Amino acid sequence: MNERSFINNVRMIFYNEEFMEAGAFAVTAGNRAFKYGDGVFETALFINKKVPLLNYNINRLKKGMALLGIEEPSNWNLQHFASIITKLCEQSDIENGRCKITIWRSGEGLYLPVTNTADCLIEIFPQETNPLISKGSPLVLGVYDDYPKMIHPLSACKTSNAIPYILAANYAKQNGFDDVLLLNTNDEIADSISSNLFIVKNNTCYTTSVMNGGVEGTMQAYILANAASLGIKVDRIPMSISDVMSANEVMLTNAISGIKPVTQFQDVVFKNNFAIELLGKLKWLLEQDAK
């Protein structure tokens, strides 16, 4: 079942402690996520109805809520979200796909909220293609520098205001890039449209530093935490365009694709042997965690 046919059929969602058909849910005119981008979200891969990176997602979600001052209900622990996602998978007869969790501040109000309680929407979607499999197709990477990312703790979270990434995605499409790197206010690399950057030099991996204006990726964090199991060495450094140009290999990582090998950046063409081998190890490790 692909995502389009799935959406056209009866689709179940979870909204504020209730399972319901997606068609029964509607955003009101006063919704603060709609009006002000006053919320956060997470996207996660599930395998065999389980989300192996869910703890990373929930930690980032709660960090964003705390920074926005949105109150966290006492029952919002890892098991709470895991059981909801599993039930949605069972109701929809889907074993593998992606899940989106969206949290926003309840109530209306202007810039000053009338309440700080949270609304929660959880959706699942099937994957049209097998996740964590290298497609072997070229990935041409560019740079988008018209909207520098601010270096702030909230930049590490996925907020409902995704304007920099929307503008970057439009720029990439208009200029024939498959993805683009976004820079921060120090002209260092923050992240890409929906991924984090890894480069390989002399059999060592490097990824972007903490608090660099980019989203702290869940797959990025998983690779860092499991470097020994993956048989790699990883260091975090402030990353520049020249670092990418001089790399042996370049990779983009995110929660859905795992690792996307970059084949070209500007006039430099890269091999992908290291990246493809690492993706195979990562797929195996995630499948073990999802058993």
DSSP-H helix ranges across 139-189: 163-174
Q: In the chain, how many H helices and how many E strands?
A: 9, 15
**pLDDT score for 133:** 74
Task: Give, for 8, the enclosing helix (H) or strand (E).
Answer: helix 3-8
Extract the residue ranges of the chain whose pLDDT is less than 50.
1, 3, 5-8
Least Cα distance to 168 among 191, 138, 140, 198 occurs for: 191
- As a whole-number percent, the residues of the chain with pLDDT over 90 amount to 86
Q: Using an 8 Å Cβ cutoff, are 19 and 11 in contact? A: no
What is the rounded radius of gyration, in angstroms, for the C-alpha atoms of the chain? Answer: 19
Distances (CA, A) of 196 to 110, 157, 173: 34, 13, 19
**pLDDT score for 161:** 93
For 30, which DSSP code?
A: T
Instruction: Give ∠ CA 130-132-138 in degrees, rounded to 5.
Output: 90
Give the tens place of pLDDT for each residue, 58-106. 999 999 999 999 999 999 999 999 999 999 999 998 999 999 999 999 9
**pLDDT score for 169:** 98
**pLDDT score for 130:** 65
Which neighbouring-strand residues pair with 201? Answer: 204
For 254, which DSSP code?
A: E
**pLDDT score for 8:** 47
Domains of the chain from N-terminus onward = 3-126 (3.30.470.10), 140-289 (3.20.10.10)
Strands (E), the chain: 12-15, 18-21, 39-46, 97-105, 118-126, 140-149, 179-184, 189-192, 196-201, 204-208, 234-237, 249-254, 258-262, 264-265, 268-269
**pLDDT score for 132:** 78
**pLDDT score for 9:** 53
Task: Give the sign of the dihedral formed by CA 127, CA 133, CA 138, CA 140.
Answer: positive
Q: Using an 8 Å Cβ cutoff, are 248 and 202 in contact? A: yes
For 148, which DSSP code?
A: E
Least Cα distance to 218 among 39, 40, 42 occurs for: 42
